[in-house]
Structure 1
Amino acid sequence: MISVTTIGFTKSNARNFFERIRSAGVRKVVDVRLHNTSQLSGFAKSDDLSYFLKSILDINYVHTPLLAPEDEMLKAYKRDGGDWRAYELKFMDLMAKRKIEDRLKPGMFDHACLLCSEDTPHHCHRRLVCEYLNSKWDRVLSVKHL
Structure 2
Amino acid sequence: MDIYTIGFTQKKAEKFFGFLRTHDIKTLVDVRLNNVSQLSGFAKRDDLAFFLRELCNIDYEHLPELAPTKNILNAYKKKEISWQTYEDKFLNLMAQRNIEKSVAPQLLDNGCLLCSEHEPHFCHRRLVVEYLNETSDLQLFVKHLY
Question: Which range, TM-score by smaller chain?
Answer: over 0.9
2:54 and 2:138 map into 1 onto residues whose CA distance is 33
1:41 aligns with 2:40: yes
Runs of 5+ consecutive residues of structure 1 not aligned to the other structure: none
Superposed CA offset, 1:63-121 (max 9, x none) = 00010000010000013453101000000000000011111233320010000000000
Q: What is the rounded CA distance, in whole Å, between the counterparts of 1:73 and 1:57 in structure 2?
A: 34
Residue 92, structure 1, aligned to residue 91, structure 2: yes
- TM-score, normalised to structure 1's length? 0.95
**Partner SS state of residue 11, structure 2:** coil
Q: Residue 37 of structure 1 contacts residue 45 of structure 1 at CA under 8 Å; is this kept in 2?
A: yes
Q: What is the RMSD computed on CA atoms of the aligned residues?
A: 1.2
The answer for the alignment partner of 1:57 in structure 2 is: 56
CA distance in 1, matches of 2:87, 2:15: 29
Q: Check whether the contact 1:10–1:40 (CA below 8 A) recurs between aligned residues.
A: no
Q: Structure 1: how far apart are the matches of 2:89 and 2:76?
A: 11
Mind listing any 5+ residue stretches in structure 2 that lack a counterpart? Answer: none
**Letter of the aligned partner of 1:77 in structure 2?**
Y
Q: Can you list the C-alpha shifts for 1:11-68, whole angstroms capped at 9, x where unaligned?
A: 1110010001111110110000000012233101001000100011111101000100
Superposition pairs of residues 1-146 of structure 1, within 5 angstroms:
2-80=1-79, 82-138=81-137, 140-146=139-145
Percent of aligned positions that are identical: 52
Answer yes or no: is the 8 Å Cα contact 2:29–2:107 preserved in 1.
Answer: no
Q: What secondary structure does 2:39 align onto?
A: coil
Separation in 2, partners of 1:47, 1:141:
28
